[in-house]
Structure 1
Amino acid sequence: MKALRFALNHMVAPRRDFAGFFALAREIGIDAVEIRNDLAGIAIADGTPPVAVRAAAEAAGLTILSVNALQRFNDWTTQRAAEARALADYAAACGARGLVLVPVCDGTPGDEARLEEALAALKPLLMQRGLTGLVEPLGFTFSSLRAKAEAAAAIAAVDGEGVFLLVHDTFHHHLAQESEFFPSLTGLVHISGVVDEAVSVADMRDPHRVLVTAGDRLDNVGQIAALLAGGYRGALSFEPFSPAVHDLADPASALHESMAFIAGRTGIS
């Protein structure tokens, strides 16, 4: 088996501009990144043209795996359609391979028909731009789409194979208490750990998400091993939301340590 392929989501260093973020990736030998549209003062939110992002990524030898994300994608409205077109245009122009699709997460109940409606509307929009739609269920109890099984069924219902893939997020997989893996339908894996022993699973939130270490409570290593055993060969993208990670003076060293830990525990260097 080939070496693990790690990637960086811009959430690993959200205060860095995209040039600094790209430099961090190269410093630790990573060649794939995810950029975000929700970081104030940073591309994309600061108005940076997509061609500038593309040029910087190419100069650094980086592949942009995704733009993260179209929020509330399964609440399909005229406004959402406009947001989707604008974000998909940006993703295509900056050279991204995919667009992450995040569901409504405010306590609104899930709605199978609305989920399928959204995927059906997104399908031609993504196909026209050569993008993959990366559907990311969120495991919170107040999420409208918690289970990957539900997302997989909706993708099949709209004949979306080849256009849509799943994001397996180790944090959300654990929160949703899922046991089923979909390695052949997985296009991206988000990794982060929780080490706080005081917080219950029900109370885990994004600020608890740190790098994956020996104290991890989410069994990242077990989840990654299961995906690999099922044939997944894509990227493992670090997505920590904790201020403790964002405040690191030397994130490169911490990331190196986490990468080495995961590689050592999975037996793949």
Structure 2
Amino acid sequence: MAIDSTRFCINRKIAPNLGIEPFFQLVHGLGLNKVELRNDMRSGKVTDDLSHEEVRELAQRYGLEIVTINAVYPFNQADDALLAKTEALLKDANGVGAKALVLCPLNDGTPVSAEETIAALKKLAPLFAKYGVEGLVEPLGFPVSSLRSAVHAQALIRDASVPFRLMLDTFHHHLYEKAEDEFENGIDIDNIGLVHLSGVEDTRPTAELTDEERIMLSEGDLLKSVAQVQRLERMGYRGVYALEPFSSIMESWSTADIEREIRQSLSLLQA
């Protein structure tokens, strides 16, 4: 596969010990130009202790595009508190120049109907339009998730008549047991806005996997993320791929470790 390096993005989750500027420096040093920021880092804030203007200036200095902020949760329980949280994150996204904000569904075993999810999407869409930020809906494959299917998520977006797109994650695709049956005939490649990549080597039953088992890509990756990417490319996807591991093992990684792991993952994708 020959995927242009401008289509690769690094999620800040890979560098829990780095501030925003050192993280930007690392990504720039790898010859990449896209990053994702988060609202669940140690500081508890998207921008740490920096202003929107400072983050925007740093992104410009290092030639980086801020692809998304992760994430609004749970988007399909759109009460007043959720709307306030969403608006705060949209202000962050608009302020730092992020193109999109990720939307994650309720993930505690409580069912949420299609009608409730559609209503939430319709309620959220005007806020996204107000701030000029795209919404990316990310189904979570966990057995307790209220929205597990990528194909179903796209159907709900269509039924809500909102301009959101799908966030596809190779880990969550693997966790949802019907994903392979649905995917090739049901997915709308043109309405995938971003793809998250990670790897898993832990051999416990799939239904027992958690974010803690998510590492970088490897030859022994049970998610078969490289094969998932190959299929997406074959089907015509030409969007961005973001590396998004989650394991706490990264707390112990040095900058050199992070750089090595990113290079190894990208080499597997380019093989």
TM-score (norm 1): 0.93
The corresponding residue for 1:187 is 193
**Which ranges in structure 1 are unaligned for 5 or more consecutive residues?**
265-269
Is the CA contact 2:20–2:48 (under 8 Å) kept in the aligned structure 1? no
Distance in 2 (alpha carbons) for counterparts of 1:2 and 1:38:
30
After TM superposition, list the pairs within 5 Å mapping 1:105-184 onto structure 2.
Answer: 105-160=107-162, 163-177=163-177, 178-179=179-180, 180=183, 181-184=187-190
Q: Output the CA distance in 1 between the equivalents of 2:265 and 2:227.
A: 15
> Match of 2:242, SS?
strand
Is residue 16–residue 42 contact of structure 2 (8 Å, CA) maintained in 1? no
- The one-letter amino acid of 2:126's match is P
Is 1:3 equivalent to 2:4 in the alignment? Answer: yes
* CA distance, structure 2, for counterparts of residue 2 and residue 40 of structure 1: 32
Q: Is the 8 A contact 2:200 2:214 kept in 1?
A: yes
Is 1:230 equivalent to 2:231 in the alignment?
no
Measured in 2, the distance between the counterparts of 1:125 and 1:60 equals 30
Read off the aligned partner of 1:31 and give its amino acid letter: N
Q: Which amino acid aligns with 2:142?
A: F
Contact kept, 8 Å, 1:211 with 1:245, in 2: the verdict is: no
Shift of 1:56: 0.9
User: 1:48 deviation in Å?
Assistant: 2.9
Per-residue CA deviations over 1:198-217 (Å, capped at 9, x if unaligned) read x1111110010000010100
In angstroms, what is the RMSD of aligned CA positions?
A: 1.5
8 Å Cα contact 1:68/1:99 also seen in 2: yes
Corresponding residue for residue 261 of structure 1:
268
Secondary structure of 2:37's partner? strand
- Give the equivalent residue in structure 2 for 1:31: 33
Q: 1:60-97 CA deviation, whole Å, 9 max, x = no partner?
A: 10000001011101001011111111111110111000
Which amino acid counterpart does residue 16 of structure 2 have in structure 1? Answer: P
- In structure 2, distance between residues paired with 1:243 and 1:115: 32
Matched with 1:241 is 246
Deviation for aligned residue 1:43: 4.4
Give the SS at the match of 1:261: helix
Larger displacement relative to structure 2 (58-67 or 174-183): 174-183
**1:102 is the counterpart of 2:108:** no
| Structure 1 SS opposite 2:136 | strand
SS in 2 for 1:67: strand
Question: Contact 1:18 / 1:42 at 8 angstroms: preserved in 2?
Answer: no
Moved more, 179-188 or 144-153: 179-188
Percent identity (aligned): 36
- SS for the counterpart of 1:64 is strand
Contact 1:184 1:230 in 2 (8 A): no
* Structure with the higher helix share, 1 or 2: 2
Amino acid at match of 2:195: V
Change (3 A) 1:192 1:142: same
Counterparts of 2:43 and 2:91 in 1: how far apart (Å)? 20
Query: Could you tell me how far apart the structure 1 residues matched to 2:78 and 2:155 are?
Result: 18
State how far apart, in whole Å, the 1-side matches of 2:47 and 2:35 are: 17
Are the equivalent residues in 1 in contact too, given 2:47–2:55 (CA < 8 A)?
Answer: no
Which letter maps to 1:170?
Answer: T
SS in 1 for 2:165: strand
TM-score (norm 2): 0.92
> How far has the Cα of 1:193 moved from its partner?
0.3
**Aligned-pair CA distance for 1:230:** 1.7
Specify the alignment match of 1:267 in structure 2.
none
CA distance in 2, matches of 1:248, 1:89: 32
**How far 1:18 moved relative to its partner?**
0.6
Which aligned runs of 4 or more in structure 1 are off by greater than 4 angstroms? Answer: none
